[in-house]
Structure 1
Amino acid sequence: MRRAAVLGKGALAAHACEVIAGLPNTVLNAVVPNADEPEWDVRLSDVVAERWPETRIVTSGDWRELEPGRCDLVFSVLYDRIIGRSLIDATRMIVNCHPGRLPQYRGARPVNWALLNGESIHGVTIHAIDAGIDSGPVFAQALFSIWPEIDEVRDVWERSMRHARLLISDTLPRLDRIAPRLQAEERAVTHYMRENHLLGERADWTRATSVDGP
């Protein structure tokens, strides 16, 4: 029986748990919710406690509480910490769902940066986790239209979540049979949290109101 763990937050991480729990010969062994679960989304810890009461919930939000090598599959969905080499090296398949188009939008707040840059296309990506920031080989990607002159961050974030939900459903059952492709490093751009002040009016959910965003 293959053991799996999910790290992250919200309805999208809960959906990943649902898909993984439904895979043949797979058990959802552990879930690591972000330590600060957002008020604007469902609480992953509550969903897991209700749906899979036998699954271990790591309430600290710290990936280091997972025993290296215990899980064959680790899936990160909007997780808010950098996963270290000890878990990466010990896990047969460790994968992330990133709400941005790779390699152009690695790192923090890809939706915000795409809108600030006036992009007409955005994307969500499922990729292998390596020692870099969103730099691992890509298993799957979905691209879709955005309209910076019309869209707010909230609009594109919600659109990203819809596409990510479908991408997770399509990709996870096929993960063992997909040959991931290397990212084009010459096109790679990484944004960091320390750059958030450069986002200006795109720092928040909308350009008119300052509220907590993704």
Structure 2
Amino acid sequence: MRRAAVLGKGALAVHTCEAITELPDTVLDTVIPTTPEPSWDLSLTAVVRSRWPNVHVVDSGDWRELEPGRCDLVVSVLYDKIIGPELIHATPQIINCHPGRLPHYRGVRPVNWALRNGDNLAGITLHIMDEGVDSGPILAEALFSIWPDIDEVRDVWWRAIAHGRRLITDTLPQLDRIQPQPQDPTLAVTHYSRDNHLLGERSEWTRALSGFPPDQQPGSGR
């Protein structure tokens, strides 16, 4: 029986927990929520404690409280902290769900940047985690249309989450069969928090008015 952990936030992290509990010979062992949990989405902590009371919830939100080697599968879903090599190298399968196309939108706020750049396509990606920033080999991706003249950040964010649910459902049962595809480093662009001021009107949840503090916006996480 292999043990699994989920790190992250919101409805998509909850869905990942559900998908893991459906995997054969797999038990959901540990959940590490992003802290503080955003008020604009489901509380991962509350749902896990209600539905899976035997699962260990790390209240601090610190990935370092997960003992390296304890879990065979670790899935990061919109988790907002950089996971260190000690956990990465000790985990047979450690993957990240990134709400953007890779390698074009590594780093923070990929939804915001796609709209800022006037793209007609956005995406959500599952990739193997390595020591870089969203640079590991790609397992699966879902691409979808966006309309920069019409869409707000919130519209594209929730569209990405909807596609992410299907992506996770389809991919997790096939992890042992999928051959990850390396990213093309010549196409890579990485955005950091220090670049957020360049987003202009796309720095907020909507162009007219943001309903959340900057560090609590849905597009602000990895």
Hey, what's the Cα distance between the residues in 2 that align with 1:59 and 1:195? 30
Cross-structure match for 1:64? 64
The Cα shift of 1:141 comes to 0.5
Residue 125 in structure 1 maps to residue 125 in structure 2: yes
Aligned positions of 1:171-190 closer than 5 A: 171-190=171-190
Structure 1 runs (4+) deviating above 4 angstroms are: none
Residue 164 in structure 1 maps to residue 172 in structure 2: no
The Cα shift of 1:176 comes to 1.2
The Cα shift of 1:104 comes to 0.1
User: With structure 2 as the length reference, what TM-score do the two structures score?
Assistant: 0.96
Aligned positions of 1:115-154 closer than 5 A: 115-154=115-154
For residue 116 of structure 2, what is the amino acid of its counterpart? L
SS in 2 for 1:90: coil
Cross-structure match for 1:22? 22
The Cα shift of 1:197 comes to 1.1
For residue 180 of structure 1, what is the amino acid of its counterpart? P
Aligned positions of 1:85-104 closer than 5 A: 85-104=85-104
Aligned positions of 1:27-38 closer than 5 A: 27-38=27-38
User: With structure 1 as the length reference, what TM-score do the two structures score?
Assistant: 0.99
Cross-structure match for 2:106? 106
Percent identical across equivalent pairs? 66
The Cα shift of 1:211 comes to 2.0
The Cα shift of 1:2 comes to 0.5
Hey, what's the Cα distance between the residues in 2 that align with 1:195 and 1:211? 21
Cross-structure match for 1:11? 11
Count of residues in correspondence between the two structures: 214
SS in 2 for 1:176: coil
Give unmatched runs, 5+ long, in structure 2.
none
SS in 1 for 2:176: helix
For residue 19 of structure 2, what is the amino acid of its counterpart? V
SS in 2 for 1:76: strand
